[in-house]
Chain A
C-alpha cells in the first residue's frame, strides 16, 4: 500500500521532471528549429518506417517542419501555461476563499455569489468566451484559464477555513491578541495547503488539456508558436495520409496528463486524513 503510493509519486514526478527539462532546455535538445520549413521534405514519416528519413526521428509535418523539435518546444507552452495558471488561479482563489471563510458575512456573501456565477458555466465555455474576446496570445490564454479555474480553490479553501477557524488553536491565537490578517495567514491558511496542493496538481492536468483544446480550436496562442493542441488541429485533416501528425502530439498530451494525475493521486493519498489514520 505504502510503496505503491510512493511509486505513484516517483513515476509522476519523473515524468514531470523530464517535461520540465524538455521545456527549459528545448533549444539544446531539439535537433532543428521548430519553425524551419523544408517544403521538399513535407509529410515524411517517422524514421523507423519504410520511407522515413534519418534526419527526422518522428517525421515531418505538412510544411516540412521537424515533428520532434516541435513536440519538444510544445512542452514549453504546456508547462508554462499550466504552471502560471495554477499559481495565479491558486493565489486569487485562495485569497478570496480564505477571506470569505474567515470573515464571513458580506464578504462571504459576495465571494460566494461570484463563484457560483462562474460555477454555473462549464469552464471550457468561459475560457472560449474570454479568448474570443481578448484574442490570441500567451498572456491572454493564462488570463482566460485563470479566470475559469480560480473558483475551485476558492470553494475548497473557504470550506476548510470555515472549519479551521473554530478550532482551539485559532481561538488561542486570537486570545493572544493576534490581528485578523495575522491569524488568517499565519495559522489558518497554512493548514489548508494540503488540499490546495492536491487541487493544484489535478488542476494543472486539466489546464494543460484545456490549453490544448483552445489551441485546437484556434483560440490559443498565435500560430507561429508550436503547441501540442495546434499540432493536433493542423494534423487532423491529414489523419489518413500522415497519422503521425496527430499520434505524437496526442501521446505527448496523454503522457503529461497521466504523469501529473499520478503525482496528484499520490499526494492525495498522503494528505488524506482518513487514509492517514489507517496507516
Chain B
C-alpha cells in the first residue's frame, strides 16, 4: 500500500499547535466571562416546546411564543402599558356587535406576497377547524362572520356586543393564504408568516429552528438564528446552561437559584408570572356542593406557608380571587386566613363532625414542585378534619374528557397561564356552561360576567369584575393559592426583555 503523503510541514504543525494551545487555554477564560457561544445564535432549552408542527394544535403560552417568531397576531398585550397594541393591525374600532381592524400597510409574508384581509379570514377559518386539529376554536365561539370589505380591512361580527374580544384575539396568528392554497394539506409543513424569523425546521419532541427575516417590517432582529430544544428534566437544562450548550433556560428550580447565581457564566432572572395556581372544586361532586365545606377547605389551606417553605419565598400569595396585577383585581380583597379550628367548626356545621374523606388530583411534573405542594396541602387539610387521598394522573388523562374538562375530578390542583384579565378565569371556570371544570352555576354571577363582557369602557368594567370577584370569594368557589416567579437562567452577556407570559422571543434578545 502506498504511504499516504501528508502536506503538513513542521512549521505548519507548530503554528496549528500554537493556535490550538492558545484556544484551549482561552476556552475556560471565555466561559468564565460568561459569553454565549456565538453572537449570532441563541440556543434555548425549554421545558415546553411545540409538540406538533400544526401551529394551532395547542393553547399554551410558551408554545405561542415559539410560533410568534414566524407568524404574527393582529394585536398583543403590552404588559408595561397594560393595554393592547397593534402588531399586524394598525388600528381598530368596536361598535355594536362589530370589531373593525385596519391592517398595517406594506407588510410582506416570507414568500414575498403582501398581507391582506383575505389572509386573516383564511387563518381564522383554519383556527376554527377543530376537526383539523386546532385547539383554538373556542376563542371564536361568539364570532358569526369575518368580513373583508377591502384588502386592508377586516370586520369580525359577533352574536352580541363583545367588549373583551381583544383578549380572545391575542395569540391568534396569521398564516399566508397564498401559501395555504399552494401547499394544500401540506400547509402546516410549510408555515409562511410575516414574523421577524423564518421557519427552518422542526423535529418532533426535539428542535425548532428559526432564522432571521432580514426584510421584517418592524426592523431586523439582532440574533440571526434561534434554536429551541425541548428538555423536560430540570437537571439537564441546568447542566446545559452551566456547560455552555444552552444560552437560556426556563424553570430553574428555586432551590438551585443560590448555587447557579455563583456560577461564572450564569445570570438568574426572576419575573412575576401570569400563571395563577389554585385548587378547584367541582361542585357536581359531593361534598363540594356544600358552601360550608368549601369555606372550611379555604380556611384550612395556608398558601403563604407553601410559598415560604416550598418556593423559598419566591412567589406571591393571592389576596382574593386573582393576583394583584390582573385586570379586575380588587386591592381591598382578602384571602381566607389559615384557621384550622374555624374550618373544623364549619365542617361540623356542614354535617361532618368526624371529618370527611376527599381526593385531591394533580398531574405530577406538570408544574413546579406540584407533588410537594399537594403533599403539604394534604397535611394542612388533615388538621381541619379532611382526610386527603392524593392521586396523580398523566396530563392527558388529567386534563381530558374523563378529567378536568369532562367534570370528572372533584378537587384538583391547577395553574391558569397568561391570566391578564379576571374575565378569562371567571368565564372559563365559574360561568354556567362555558366549561365543566367546576360545574358552578349562579345566575347572578352569570349576569355580571355577561354585563362586563358587553362593557367597552375599562373604568366601568373593572368594578363589575371586582363585584364578581367578591361574589366568588363569598361563595368560596375555589381556593386561590399564588402566582410564582418564573425563574430563568441566561448566559451573562445575553440581554432580553423580561416578560411575564412565559414567551421567549428571539428578537427581544441581544448578545452584548
Interface positions of A (Cβ within 8 A of B): 35, 37, 39-40, 42, 62-64, 132, 136, 218, 222-224, 234, 236-241
Query: A132 near B256 (CB under 8 angstroms)?
Result: no
Cβ-based interface call for B392 (8 A): yes
The interface bits of chain B over 358-372 (1 if a CB of A lies within 8 angstroms of the residue's CB, else 0) are: 000000110000011
Interface positions of B (Cβ within 8 A of A): 234-235, 253, 255-256, 259, 305, 309-310, 364-365, 371-372, 374-376, 378-379, 389-392, 394
**Of all chain A residues, which has the CB nearest B371?**
A223
CA distance A32 to B194 in the complex (A): 63
Query: Of B259, B309, B372, B390, which contacts A222 at CB under 8 A?
Result: B390
CA distance A63 to B311 in the complex (A): 11
- Chain A min CB distance to B150 (Å): 55
- Chain B min CB distance to A119 (Å): 28
Query: Of A224, A236, A237, which contacts B375 at CB under 8 A?
Result: A224
- Using known A-B contacts A62-B372, A218-B364, A223-B371, determine if residue A236 contacts B235 with beta carbons closer than 8 Å: yes
Contacts of B235 in A (CB 8 A): 236-237, 239
CA distance A224 to B387 in the complex (A): 12
- Using known A-B contacts A136-B392, A224-B390, determine if residue A63 contacts B372 with beta carbons closer than 8 Å: yes
Contacts of A35 in B (CB 8 A): 379
Query: Of B256, B305, B310, B391, which contacts A241 at CB under 8 A?
Result: B256
Query: A37 near B305 (CB under 8 angstroms)?
Result: no
**Of all chain A residues, which has the CB nearest B302?**
A39
Contacts of B256 in A (CB 8 A): 240-241
Contacts of B365 in A (CB 8 A): 218
Q: Dominant SS at the B interface?
A: helix
6 smallest CB-CB distances across A and B, nearest first, come from A39-B309, A37-B379, A223-B390, A218-B364, A241-B255, A240-B259
**Of all chain B residues, which has the CB nearest A40?**
B309
Query: B389 near A222 (CB under 8 angstroms)?
Result: yes
CA distance A239 to B372 in the complex (A): 16
Query: Of B255, B374, B391, which contacts A238 at CB under 8 A?
Result: B255
- Using known A-B contacts A63-B372, A223-B371, determine if residue A42 contacts B309 with beta carbons closer than 8 Å: yes
- Chain B min CB distance to A224 (Å): 6
Contacts of A237 in B (CB 8 A): 234-235, 253, 255
**Of all chain A residues, which has the CB nearest B234?**
A237
CA distance A42 to B255 in the complex (A): 12
CA distance A237 to B305 in the complex (A): 21
- Chain B min CB distance to A135 (Å): 8
- Using known A-B contacts A136-B392, A218-B365, A237-B235, determine if residue A223 contacts B375 with beta carbons closer than 8 Å: yes
CA distance A40 to B376 in the complex (A): 13
CA distance A39 to B372 in the complex (A): 11
Contacts of B374 in A (CB 8 A): 223
Contacts of A224 in B (CB 8 A): 375, 378, 389-390
CA distance A222 to B371 in the complex (A): 11
CA distance A241 to B259 in the complex (A): 8
Query: A37 near B255 (CB under 8 angstroms)?
Result: no
- Using known A-B contacts A35-B379, A37-B379, determine if residue A222 contacts B391 with beta carbons closer than 8 Å: yes
**Of all chain B residues, which has the CB nearest A236?**
B235
CA distance A241 to B238 in the complex (A): 14
